[in-house]
Amino acid sequence: MTEIPNPNQILDVDPLMMDLLLDHYKHPHNFGPLPGADIVHEEGNPSCGDQMRMALKTHDGLIQDIKFEGKGCIISQAAASILTDLMKGESLERVKEFTKDDMLENLGIPIGPMRLKCALLALKVLKSGVYGQAHWPGEEEDE
Amino acid sequence: MTESALRVAPNGFDVEAVRRDFPILERRVHDHPLIYMDNAATTQRPRQVVDAMVSYFTEYNANIHRAIHTLGYEATVAYEDAHKKVARFINAKSWREIVFVRNATEALNLVAMSWGQANLRAGDEVVVSLMEHHSDIVPWQMLRDRLGIVLKFIPVTPQGTLDLEAARRLITTRTRLVGLVHASNVLGVINPVEEIRAMAKEVGALLLLDGAQSIPHLPVDVQALGCDFFVASGHKMLGPTGIGFLYGRKALLQEMPPFLTGGDMIATVTTEGATWNELPWKFEAGTSAIAEGIGLGAAVDYLSSIGMGNVYQYEKELEHYTLERLNNCPWLTLYGHLAGDHLAVFSFNVEGAHPHDAANLLDRFAIAVRSGHHCAQPLMTHLGMDNTLRASLYLYNTRAEVEVLLGALQEVRKLLVR
């Protein structure tokens, strides 16, 4: 009645499985604790149980180092890995300017509505930490 | 019933004949045949149900109870008949004990807000289990905050069964109602109603059963179960969404105040007040979900034509088969299924793979499963469970589909495990 499909076909058709994201997931960049951090923020995504902590070392409004910790799915973990790469060495102002669309664009795959929260968890945690509040301006827009 | 359902032998079960009644099972997803294993969330509908609803819309669409004309009469008879079909299906004494509501959640809210509000006083106890769906927890928490009642939870053993010893301690002379999920939507375990009923009756407490997961899969006889209330959702038993029912013993329903008020639920209204309509209409305010009610009646007809004993037997075999296959995968963590009787509902994780990713990948094989906390967070916390994948099977699933699931899970493991 049914045959088991060839997994390689699935790799080809499923953008989720793109090598880049899988690589970020299996070998995340900037992962681990950051002793001496001056901005630390942690939040979860209750719908999937994911938890993420962002830690930043800043000086004169510049991000000298940034690391994340937590557990989650490919999309949330890869997003954190990519986002921390992008923000290292940037200014806190740059974090504030960085939009949801910027985040999605940097993931490089189409994100459906069911996985949007996964894709944006890292940005939410980082922005909340930088703004020092649970919700940043414009967070609820077009959700 | 239609010809294909009649082809099912009285003491046999022809899964291929059943499958032909579900047009959606011909669907392909990502170029693979659909394997639908999310039945604890909602089931598919056989064409008999769809046809019954279409026939209402195209042949006798009218509002019920008010119109004198032919269409109004036909619609009223069909809608009342649906209540009678449900009453026969669960062996209620009278069809007037069947109240149509939107779903099991609304039925539970009805009991809490109508019976609970009128009968519970500060210090009275309501005992539920930790296995409850959120819908049998949150309405009681609202009442607790409003009335000062005490809400207690029967814990679950590490084997994933109800802790009956603890239940014996928790159900006391102050207990007014025990609310129990008949079968768990997470663990699939079928709870020992008889034992809990005995404990409830001993202290004079009412017994409410949440049958949303049980009634689709096993024969239900409310008189034999000895429950005072029984709730269910149509869409989990082959019927449409937007319709479910509350069964309540007539004496209880008669004493209970209305839940929602307004049209159709009154006998008379003056500027001073109103008197209530007879059962079950007292609890069905406003224009009902007529087509959906008729659809639920057709779903009950369909299940009855196959025979719930046959459904149960077939699914039992499928459950044993699937359990054995899952237990053969050391890289898979299965929750529960260690003791007691179970539905073919399996919560599990592929070690090292996030359930959302796994579900995403399974979808590429056209396998529909659920991932998440399954609206039972207290249970998951209690058992130390993370979010899980859940495969919930029904009468149209096959062993061949279980094999495809197993093969796909192997691929999940190869791709996702770090």
Q: What is chain A's alpha carbon radius of gyration, rounded to the nearest angstrom?
A: 16
B138 and B77 assigned to the same domain: yes
Mutation test of the interface with chain B: which of A4, A11, A27, choosing the one with the most B Cβ atoms within 10 A? A4
Residue B172 structure tokens: 């006391």
- Distances B66 to B72, B281, B292 between C-alpha atoms, Å: 7, 13, 19
The DSSP-derived string for B229-264 is: EEEEEGGGTTS-TT-EEEEE-HHHHHHSPPSS-SSS
Question: Residue A137 — very low, low, confident or very high, per pLDDT cuts 50/70/90?
Answer: low
Whether B361 sits inside 8 A of A48 (CB atoms) is no
- Residue A139 and residue A128: Cα distance in Å, rounded? 10
The DSSP-derived string for B329-354 is: -TTEEEES-SSS-B-SEEEEEETTS-
- The CATH number of residue B123's host domain is 3.40.640.10
Long-range contacts of A30-33 (CB under 8 A, 24+ apart): A30/A66, A30/A67, A30/A68, A30/A80, A30/A81, A30/A84, A30/A85, A30/A88, A31/A67, A31/A68, A31/A69, A31/A81, A32/A67, A32/A69, A33/A67, A33/A69
Q: How many CB atoms lie within 10 A of CB A8?
A: 8
CA distance between the termini of chain A: 41
Annotated catalytic residues of B are: 375
Average pLDDT over residues A55-62: 96
Residues on chain B touching A5 (C-beta within 8 angstroms):
32, 364-365
Specify whether the CB–CB gap between B381 and B355 falls below 8 A: no
B222 and B279 assigned to the same domain: yes
Task: Express each pLDDT in B111-159 by its tens digit.
Answer: 999 999 999 999 999 999 999 999 999 999 999 999 999 999 999 999 9
Whether A5 sits inside 8 A of B32 (CB atoms) is yes
Per the structure, the count of domains in chain B is: 2
Residue B273 structure tokens: 């007040």
Give the mean pLDDT of chain A.
84
Question: Residue A88 — very low, low, confident or very high, per pLDDT cuts 50/70/90?
Answer: very high
- The CATH number of residue B346's host domain is 3.90.1150.10
Identify any residues that bridge with B312 across adjacent strands, giving them in sequence order. none
What pLDDT, on a 0 to 100 scale, did the predictor assign at position B181? 98
B263 and B316 assigned to the same domain: no
Which amino acid would we find at residue B11? N
Mutation test of the interface with chain A: which of B32, B357, B404, B417, choosing the one with the most A Cβ atoms within 10 A? B357
Task: Express each pLDDT in A113-127 by its tens digit.
Answer: 878 888 999 999 999
Question: Nearest 5°: phi and psi at B335?
Answer: -100, 135
B404 and B267 assigned to the same domain: no
Pick the CATH number of A12-131 from 3.90.1010.10, 1.20.1250.20, 3.40.50.300, 3.40.50.150: 3.90.1010.10
Task: Express each pLDDT in B260-289 by its tens digit.
Answer: 988 878 888 888 888 888 999 999 999 999
Average pLDDT over residues A132-142: 65
B93 and B219 assigned to the same domain: yes
Query: Nearest-CA residue of chain A relative to B364?
Result: A10
B241 and B386 assigned to the same domain: no
B270 and B121 assigned to the same domain: yes
Domain housing B351: 3-42+307-416
Whether A5 sits inside 8 A of B365 (CB atoms) is yes
- Residue B59 and residue B53: Cα distance in Å, rounded? 10
What pLDDT, on a 0 to 100 scale, did the predictor assign at position A138? 63
What pLDDT, on a 0 to 100 scale, did the predictor assign at position A21? 85
What pLDDT, on a 0 to 100 scale, did the predictor assign at position A11? 41
Residue A8 structure tokens: 């390689």
Whether A1 sits inside 8 A of B387 (CB atoms) is no
Domain final residue, candidates B305, B335, B358: B305
Say if strands B35-36 and B32-33 run parallel, antiparallel, or are unpaired.
Answer: unpaired
- Distances B167 to A45, B203, B226, B269, B332 between C-alpha atoms, Å: 34, 13, 18, 46, 32
Domain final residue, candidates B266, B288, B305: B305
Considering the entire predicted model, what is its pTM?
Answer: 0.89
Which amino acid would we find at residue B231? V
What pLDDT, on a 0 to 100 scale, did the predictor assign at position A44? 87
Residue B355 structure tokens: 């359930």
Going across the sheet that includes B370-372, the strands are B332-335, B345-350, B388-392, B370-372
Q: How many CB atoms lie within 10 A of CB B386?
A: 14
Whether A16 sits inside 8 A of B361 (CB atoms) is yes
Q: Is A14 on the interface with B (CB under 8 A)?
A: yes
The DSSP-derived string for B171-230 is: --TTEEEEEEESB-TTT-BBP-HHHHHHHHHHTT-EEEEE-TTTTTTS---HHHHT-SEE
Domain final residue, candidates B278, B305, B332: B305
DSSP state of B115: I
Question: Which regions in chain B score pLDDT beneath 50?
Answer: 1-10
What pLDDT, on a 0 to 100 scale, did the predictor assign at position B70? 94
B141 and B211 assigned to the same domain: yes
> Residue written as tokens 């409003």?
B146
What pLDDT, on a 0 to 100 scale, did the predictor assign at position B329? 95
Q: What is chain B's alpha carbon radius of gyration, rounded to the nearest angstrom?
A: 22
- Residue B386 and residue B372: Cα distance in Å, rounded? 8
Question: Residue A15 — very low, low, confident or very high, per pLDDT cuts 50/70/90?
Answer: low
B228 and B246 assigned to the same domain: yes
Residues on chain A touching B360 (C-beta within 8 angstroms):
14, 16, 115
Query: Nearest-CA residue of chain A relative to B380?
Result: A49
What pLDDT, on a 0 to 100 scale, did the predictor assign at position A136? 65
For residue B280, whether the previous peptide bond is cis, meaning omega lies within 30 degrees of 0, is yes
B237 and B274 assigned to the same domain: yes
Residues on chain A touching B414 (C-beta within 8 angstroms):
7
Question: Nearest 5°: phi and psi at B250?
Answer: -55, -45
DSSP state of B118: H
What pLDDT, on a 0 to 100 scale, did the predictor assign at position A111? 80
Residue A15 structure tokens: 């953008």
**Phi/psi zone of residue B336: left (φ > 0), alpha (ψ -120 to 50 degrees), beta?**
left
Whether A2 sits inside 8 A of B354 (CB atoms) is no
SS3 A41: strand
Bigger pLDDT: A81 vs B372: A81
